[in-house]
Amino acid sequence: MVGKVGLVGNYLTAAIAWGKDVRGRVNLPAMCERALVEAMDPHTMTKIANELIQNYDIYERTGFPQSMSIPGRDVAHRIVEDVVRAGKLLELIAALVEVQENGMRGRAYTIPNLRMIIQEVSEKGFVYDPENKIFIENSSMRKTRNWGALREGEDYTIAFLRLDIVGNSQLVRRYPMAQIRKSYDDLRDITIRAAERRNGRIWQWEGDGGLAAFFFGNKHQAATLTAMEIVHELHIYNLTSCPLPAPLNIRIAVHSGSCEYSEHEETLRQNATLKTLTEIEESHTEPQTVTISSVVKVMLDALVSGQFSQLNTTTQGAYFGYALRWEP
């Protein structure tokens, strides 16, 4: 019986070392562990771990005395174990991609089986974003609020779009609730389609409007083009499909800045960037128009930027507006 257990134990160890479990399925943590061992020394592994987990101390984590050299396999095993526990396995794999592509501290590295690791991540629904150097969810397979990448409590630069229905209270009092609900639902669908087409996410949606976030690529242009598309689509909707006797009017503002990611609405309400966004929408945006801040405008392509005209405001910030215009 002891011999049998020993054989099974050896088989398990060999399988995990080769990046597969006993059923032959790919074991991502084990593959990452093996890649670390074969590609770099313990000191370099620990440098990478320090970028993922603050104040990472491999001696404290493993219990080895400072006077001893820790074997590379033990270092790799503990790092991967801690990274998985911290929910940062994708960040580790992204770090390996970056090290192979650009080296580290002036030295080139080849990461064994990196292509296989990336393929496995891809099959789990994530793709690598080279601009931000992180893995994000493949939107054709899944869509979550944080793109599978943003972490609670961490700060990011994000472009936001805020949409508000003009005269919501009067509309609700004036027209049957069935018509109100249908038109508001249609507006929400228009907004979601326009935002998700550019990898945006709806962060908030209430009866009279919502908030969309953009993080990848030229996020400023993505948010601005989404806002312009909503105005265009709503104009056609009002002419052809709106159940209300009067057109549905909206205001849209686009602004960007630092934001601490949170799943909690109260935390978002305290964010300075979102407070500015709200002020732009409420105080500097006319019905059926889009207003963008100067920090957004400077990031736009010339063709898109040229569609916006500077607004006359009494505030310190410069704002720019867009409205449908008909050529004579």
pLDDT computed for residue 174 by the predictor = 94
In the chain, % of residues over pLDDT 90: 76
pLDDT(27) > 50: yes
Residue type for 136, please?
A: I
pLDDT(152) > 80: yes
Give the domains, in start order, of the chain with CATH numbers.
2-137 (no CATH), 155-323 (3.30.70.1230)
The mean of the pLDDT values for the chain is 89
pLDDT(14) > 50: no
pLDDT computed for residue 25 by the predictor = 58
Quote the DSSP letter at residue 26: B
Assign 3 a pLDDT band (cuts: 50, 70, 90).
very low
Spatial neighbors of 268 by CB under 8 A, at least 6 apart, are 203, 204, 259, 262, 274
- From the number of C-beta atoms within 10 Å of its C-beta (0-12, 13-18, 19+), residue 191 rates as buried
pLDDT computed for residue 12 by the predictor = 35
Segment 114-127 mean pLDDT? 93
pLDDT computed for residue 13 by the predictor = 36
pLDDT(2) > 50: no
Segment 19-40 mean pLDDT? 78
How far from 107 is each of 32, 73, 101, 102, 104, CA to CA, in Å? 20, 21, 11, 9, 5
Structure tokens at 15: 């399988």
First to last CA, the chain: 92
pLDDT(131) > 70: yes
pLDDT computed for residue 36 by the predictor = 97
Contacts for 117-124 with beta carbons within 8 Å, 24 or more apart?
117/28, 117/31, 117/32, 117/35, 117/93, 118/93, 120/26, 120/28, 120/31, 121/28, 121/90, 121/93
Segment 55-83 mean pLDDT? 95
pLDDT tens track for 244-285: 999 999 999 999 999 999 998 888 889 999 999 999 999 999
> Any idea which residue has 């472009």 for tokens?
159
pLDDT computed for residue 10 by the predictor = 37
pTM for the structure as a whole: 0.78
Answer yes or no: are the C-beta atoms of 50 and 119 closer than 8 Å.
Answer: no
pLDDT tens track for 160-213: 999 999 999 999 999 999 999 999 999 999 999 999 999 999 999 987 899 999
pLDDT computed for residue 22 by the predictor = 38
Spatial neighbors of 273 by CB under 8 A, at least 6 apart, are 158, 160, 255, 256, 257, 258, 259
pLDDT tens track for 205-254: 987 899 999 998 899 999 999 999 999 999 999 999 999 999 999 999 99
**Which residue in 101, 165, 127, 161 sits closest to 293, CA to CA?**
161
- CB neighbour burial string for 109-141, b if at least 16 within 10 angstroms, e if fewer: eebbbbeebbebbeebebebbeeeebbbbbbee
pLDDT computed for residue 26 by the predictor = 64
